[in-house]
Amino acid sequence: MTDYEPVIGLEIHVQLGTTTKLFCGCELSFGDTPNIHTCPTCLGLPGALPVINAQAVHYAIMIGLALECEIAPRSQFHRKNYFYPDSPKAYQISQYDVPICGAGRLGEVRIHRAHLEDDAAKLTHLGASGRIDDAQRSVVDFNRGGTPLVEIVTEPDIHSPQQAREFLTLLRTTLRALGVSDVDMSQGSLRADANVSVRPVGSDTLGTKTELKNMNSFAFLEKGVKAEIERQIALLESGGRVAQETLHYDPVSGRLTSLRSKEEAHDYRYFPEPDLPPLVVTDAMLEAAKAAMPELPAARAARFSSELGLPVERARELAFRAELGDYYEAAVTEGGDPVMTANWIQALIERIGTEIDPADSKVTPEALAAVVKLVGDKAISRDAGREVLSKLVDEGGDPAAIVERDGLGAISSADGGLAEVVAAALAGDPDAAEKVRAGNMKAVGPLVGYVMRETKGRADGGEINRLIREQLGI
Amino acid sequence: MSAEILSLSAAQAAAAVAAGELDRAELWGAYRERAATDTLNAFTWVADDAPAAVDGPLGGVPLAVKDLFCTEDVPSQSGSKILEGYRPPYTATVVAKLQAAGAPLLGKTNQDEFAMGSSNENSAFGPVNNPWDLTRVPGGSSGGSAAAVAAGLAPWALGTDTGGSIRQPAALCGIVGLKPTYGACSRYGMIAFASSLDQAGPLTRDVTDAALLFSEMVGTDSFDSTSLGMPSPVLLPTRRDLSGVRLGVPEELLEQEGGLEPGVRARFDEALALAKELGATVTPCRLPHAEHALSAYYLLAPAEASSNLARFDGVRYGLRVDGDHDLMTMYTHTRAAGFGPEVKRRIMLGTYALSSGYYDAYYGTAQRVRTKIAEDFAAGFSAVDFIVTPTSPGVAFELGAKSADPLAMYLNDFFTVPMSLAGIPAISIPAGLSEGLPVGLQLAGPAFSENALLDAAYALEQAIGFDGSPARTGEGR
């Protein structure tokens, strides 16, 4: 069997979180009463005209800057003509030959372009199949129609389903950091299509590609692309050929079904939108977008690594989930040692799960920083620290108070308790004591173990060692 | 009293109202009654009640408005069966501005369907008769507006001009029609034909009325990204001479094959002679690409129209004809029943011109020609102030005479289309009669030169002394 290399490019639609729609003053909404956020323009009524939303342009420029794209000083809107009830003008206003954002890059993946366009209305087919062909009735909600979209197209630089998922995760994190979108795949504010082809390893020509439409979660994207790669390889191995077509991935059945073939492809009759002058990005607009740019996840990870001393992997884990990064920085600001705090956040995630924002847990960044400090100052042992953290997750509160209430404070020689326990350990195991006195430090293990058991883990290992030496006079 | 009121120009009526010599309600009543007796089929809808009085510079002088302007809760059908009975929920910016300036809506006027035509015979609501000769067309596409003003059914009217749709019917009906610079007025609420060419403009009895109406139409509109307004206020014309004014005549254009009717040429030459008497210099000027204007126009305008008219699909408003239980046949049945033959022809032309593989050869080439034509005018205006031509190669023709021959019909726009493609202002004024029918004279100037253009047109109008009153007192003769 030949070894194949998958070649994957993504087309991502991002709904911008502007106040109003792309070409009219109607409010953006989700889940509202149908058709209340409409006007002559977004209903496509005769005589109505589009006017570009400055905030959407601002957001598009920010996205372009984040993706290191060339920003076109003058871009052009085109009409993409097609008949469908979700498109009241019977054309989408999109960008064609001159998009606002040209070539760029995010991580290892080159960006081909990113452009502005308006979203279609929401169509619901009432009937058994949910498809338009045999629907009893179809209804349209124009609330969504005209929502600003930025379509981001990558170069075919992705070579595994896993890499596709990782890229989309980084993109979502970046867009979230920009504050330009909800980037919620389940609500459709982030939608991904994948162009997939395979070729023998070592070949430099591209195979025939298929397009997978609208995979609405990260897991489905990874699974769908994986299934399509396997389908194409099996097809080629059995002597078949891949047909250029658009496919729908059903995550429940795992099946891929054809939506349309190349022969059925639309002729969209693109032409320059005469109702809109060219979109000119002035220096002032560019400066405003630059000034609004937050620290991006990749830069944040680099900073965590270089300034706070985190290992690269840990730095990325925190920086690529913006909420983790924010929580981490808040805890460090409260005085937690940067490296220790990163480790303790890991312990926190193990307790609350990866889907929860730690800021939404009962553990405040101040409380986590306090745990880090208590352990760091040896006021409690590491084991006790873990116990405190578990209690914080359950009930919240102040770590010091929990330590006090539950008697989890470290036992030290200062309050007398620990010296007695060490003395008892030495008395109870004279053989081991003698070996240690003779210089065999390996024999210290059973002695420390005894003390730990007796103190229920509240004693500090270093302090136990110090007391053993002291009492043995070495 | 009524006949006396009806004989006033709009500016005179507005002045009389302002001076307290004329009662606004009486003015409204006279025109309401006159419009209701329309036998030309100029109106598709006439207002019942006098609207609330608005004080403003337009003095309560009632306004006829071409059907394709959206008017809230009033039929706005663009001459098409597919929009029969359609009452929009909003009013076009230009109409709203004129209402706010004191010009109440008298009625909506007939037009060629979606402004596609030069005879008003393409209306789903029937043809309009020319008040100068009821057997002849009023021109188009603003034929209802032109006929209504010429017949005195309305003191003034709004039209739109895409390739000549204000100027040509104004010429054929013996009145004044101004196509402004593209962008001078908002297009918001005008049911689009060809978005990069459509402009609203006045159709009036004289140049002063045109200036007065136009002065209240202009301005940028936050609902129209292509609206620019005027760089300075529009003034009423006062000029009586043309001393120092340089007029250019594109002789090559005038000598084109199938060209001018002799009577039109005679009135044109007389007008030039008058202009010289008024002090103007008249020189030939070259517009080397203008002869290709019609070809470019009949690719660009249909291309835009094929997209603009795609929204009439039976889903949300207007006509719907049921399909065979599927979406595609609902679309095709609705559009087959709703559009007339000329509209279908242009949708086909435009769809073809934009098709993948043909785009550059047709749409692309036409755009390049358009740029060349604009450059021709820019070069021309470095040597002359205005370019003058006849508005239309001939006078009003018989109803049905050109219906079977689209190319002959398209030639009506031969002198008006180049200015549309260049986006520059042009005015048509009556230059006299040929065989008892009005002849139009067109003056075109650089972008935003409307004040100078209106002044020059006014000076010529005074010198020509055209008497349009026969058409106004009776409907035809």
Cross-chain Cβ contact B70/A46 below 8 Å: yes
| Contact: A90, B189; criterion CB under 8 Å | no
Q: Which candidate, A167, A66, A165, places its Cα nearest to that of A107?
A: A167
pLDDT at A451: 86
| Tokens describing residue A189 | 């504010």
Task: Please choose, from the candidates B462, B439, B458, the residue with its C-alpha nearest in 3D space to the C-alpha of residue B450.
Answer: B458
Whether ipTM > 0.85 holds is yes
Look at residue A459 in the predicted model and tell me its pLDDT.
81
pLDDT digits (tens, 9 = 90+) for A102-124: 999 998 999 999 999 999 999 98
Query: Which has more pLDDT, A463 or B302?
Result: B302
Average pLDDT, whole number, for chain A?
A: 91
Beta-strand relationship, B386-390 and B281-284:
unpaired
Residue B78's closest chain A neighbor by CA?
A46
To the nearest 10°, report the CA torsion of A357, A359, A361, A366: 140
Cα distances (Å, whole numbers) of residue B291 to A8, A179, B285: 52, 55, 14
End-to-end Cα distance, chain A: 69
> Mean per-residue pLDDT for B218-235?
97
Q: Rounded to the nearest 5°, which phi and psi values hold at B204?
A: -140, 170
Which of A49, A81, A91 has the CB atom closest to B224's CB atom? A49
Mean pLDDT of B193-219: 98
B311, B327, B356 ranked by CB distance to A88: nearest: B311
Residues of chain B contacting A, Cβ within 8 Å: 68-70, 76, 78, 83, 86, 88-90, 92, 187-192, 194-196, 222-226, 303-304, 306-307, 310-313, 315-317, 326-327, 331, 351, 354-356, 359, 363
Contact list, B78 vs chain A (CB under 8 Å): 46
At residue A379 the predicted structure's pLDDT band, cuts being 50, 70 and 90, is: confident
Residue A280 has pLDDT above 50, yes or no: yes
What average pLDDT does chain B have?
95
CATH numeric code, B2-247+382-473: 3.90.1300.10
**Distance of CA A279 to CAs A89, A92, B187, Å?**
21, 17, 19
pLDDT tens across A392-430, in order?
999 999 999 998 888 888 776 556 578 888 888 888 888
For position B368, what pLDDT does the model report? 98
Q: Does the CB of A91 have a partner CB in chain B at under 8 Å?
A: yes
Contacts of A223 (CB under 8 A, 6+ apart): A161, A249, A251, A254
Contact B104, B62 (CB under 8 A): yes
CA distance A459 to B451: 96
Is the predicted pLDDT of residue B167 greater than 90, yes or no? yes
Rounded Cα–Cα distance for residues A88 and B315 (Å)? 8
- C-alpha torsion B133→B135→B136→B141, nearest 10: 110
CB contact under 8 A, A90 and B313: yes
> Which candidate, A275, A296, A284, A273, places its Cα nearest to that of A57?
A284
- How far apart CA B431 and CA B275 sit, in angstroms, is 12
Q: How far is CA B56 from CA B14, B28, B98, B215, B232, in A?
A: 9, 15, 9, 12, 20
Phi then psi for B392, rounded to 5 degrees?
-135, 145
Chain A environment of B83 (Cβ under 8 Å): 46
Triad B169, B170, B174: Cα angle to 5°: 115
What residues form DSSP beta bridges with A197?
Answer: A7
Tokens of residue B446, six digits: 């650089």
Can you give A57-121 as a three-state secondary structure string? HHHHHHHHHHCCCCECCEECEEEEECCCCCCCCCEEEEECCCCCECCEEECCEEEEEEEEEECCC
Q: How far apart are CA B309 and CA B192, in angstroms?
A: 8
- The answer, for A424 touching chain B at a CB cutoff of 8 Å, is no
Residue pLDDT, tens place only, B434-473? 999 999 999 999 999 999 999 999 999 999 999 876 554 4
Residues of B in contact with A40 (CB under 8 A): 88-90
Residue that the structure tokens 């070069």 belong to: B379
Compute φ and ψ for A331, nearest 5 degrees: -70, -40
Buried b (16+ CB within 10 A) or exposed e, B441-458: bbbbbbbbbbbbbbbbbb
Give residue B476's pLDDT: 38
Cα of B188 to nearest chain A Cα, Å: 6
* Burial class of residue B239, CB neighbours in 10 A (0-12, 13-18, 19+): middle
CB-CB neighbors (< 8 A) of B90 in chain A: 40, 45
- Which residue among A47, A89, A277 places its CB closest to the CB of B188? A47
Cβ proximity of A170 and A179 under 8 Å = no
Yes or no, beta carbons of B356 and A275 under 8 Å apart: no
* Rg (alpha carbons) of chain A, rounded to whole number: 30
Instruction: Give me the phi and psi of A15, to 5 degrees please.
Output: -80, 125
- The beta-carbon neighbor of B191 closest among A47, A90, A270 is A47
User: For residue B90, what are the contacts with CB-CB under 8 A and spacing of at least 6?
Assistant: A40, A45, B70, B72, B189
Smallest Cα distance from A265 to chain B, Å: 12
Please report how the helices A430-437 and A461-472 are oriented relative to each other, as an axis angle in degrees rounded to 10: 80
How far apart (Å, rounded) are the C-alpha atoms in residues A339 and A224? 38
Q: What are the residue boundaries of the structural domains of chain A, listed by start? A: 4-290, 297-406, 417-472
Q: What is the C-alpha to C-alpha distance for residues B250 and A1, in angstroms, rounded to an integer?
A: 76
Name which of A269, A270, A276 to mutate to probe chain B: the one with the most chain B Cβ atoms within 10 A of its Cβ.
A269
Please answer yes or no on whether A81 and B356 come within 8 Å at the CB atom: no
Q: What is the pLDDT of residues B74-112, one digit of tens each?
A: 999 999 999 999 999 999 999 999 999 999 999 999 999
**Spatial separation of the C-alpha atoms in residues A210 and A204, rounded to whole Å:** 18
| Contact at CB, B195 and A275, closer than 8 angstroms | yes
Query: What is d(CA B69, CA B48) in angstroms, rounded to the nearest whole number?
Result: 19
pTM of the predicted model as reported, rounded to 2 decimal places: 0.88
Does residue B474 register a pLDDT over 70?
Answer: no
pLDDT at position A262 is: 64
| pLDDT value of position A131 | 66
Beta bridge pairs of residue B282: B247
Query: Helix/strand/coil (H, E, C) string of A140-204?
Result: EECCCCCCEEEEEEECCCECCHHHHHHHHHHHHHHHHHHCCCCCCHHHCCEEEEEEEEEEECCCC
How far apart CA B331 and CA B347 sit, in angstroms, is: 14
What is the crossing angle of helices A322-333 and A161-178, to 10°?
Answer: 60
Mean pLDDT of A213-228: 91
Tell me the C-alpha to C-alpha distance, in Å, between residue A232 and each of A250, A264, B34.
17, 21, 76
Nearest to A178 by CA among A96, A114, A117: A114
> What residue in B sits closest to A93 (Cα-Cα)?
B307
Fold of domain A417-472: Arc Repressor Mutant, subunit A (1.10.10)
- Look at residue B475 in the predicted model and tell me its pLDDT: 42
Question: What positions of B carry a catalytic annotation?
Answer: 66, 141, 165
Across the interface, whether the CB atoms of A46 and B187 are under 8 A apart is answered no
Which strand (E) or helix (H) includes residue A123? strand A122-126
User: Residue B52: in which H helix or E strand, if any?
Assistant: none
Between CA A146 and CA A140 the distance in angstroms is 13
Burial of B183 (0-12, 13-18, 19+ CB in 10 A): buried
CB of B457 closer than 8 Å to CB of B236: no
Question: Dihedral through CA B164, CA B165, CA B168, CA B171, nearest 10?
Answer: -130
B196 contacts in A (CB within 8 Å)? 274
pLDDT at A369 over 50: yes
Burial of B214 per CB tally in 10 Å (0-12, 13-18, 19+) = buried
**Distance to chain B for A13, nearest Cα, Å:** 24
Return d(Cα A426, Cα A420) in angstroms, integer.
Answer: 10
Q: At what angle do helices B10-18 and B24-36 cross, to 10 degrees?
A: 150
**B224, B315, B317, B421, best to mutate vs chain A, most A CBs in 10 Å:** B315
Pairing status of strand B246-249 against strand B281-284: parallel
Residue type present at position A125: H
Evaluate if residue A135 carries a pLDDT over 80.
no
- % residues pLDDT > 90 (chain B): 90
Please say whether the beta carbons of B59 and B15 come within 8 A: yes
Which residue among B78, B225, B363 places its CB closest to the CB of A51?
Answer: B225
- Examine the pLDDT at B1 and tell me if it is beyond 60: no
The one-letter amino acid code at B246 reads: R
What are the residue ranges of helices labelled H in B101-232?
143-150, 167-173, 207-217
Distance CA B421, CA B413 (A): 12
DSSP-derived 3-state class of residue A15: strand
Helix crossing, A322-333 with A365-376: angle to 10°?
50
Residue B285: strand pairing partners: none
**Chain centre distance of CA A232:** 29
Nearest Cα neighbor of A179 from A373, A381, A334, A326 is: A326
User: What tens digit of pLDDT does each residue of A430-463 get?
Assistant: 888 888 888 888 888 888 888 888 887 778 777 8
Q: Delimit the domains of chain B by residue range.
A: 2-247+382-473
pLDDT over threshold 70, residue B145: yes
Nearest-neighbour CA in chain A from B356: distance (Å): 6
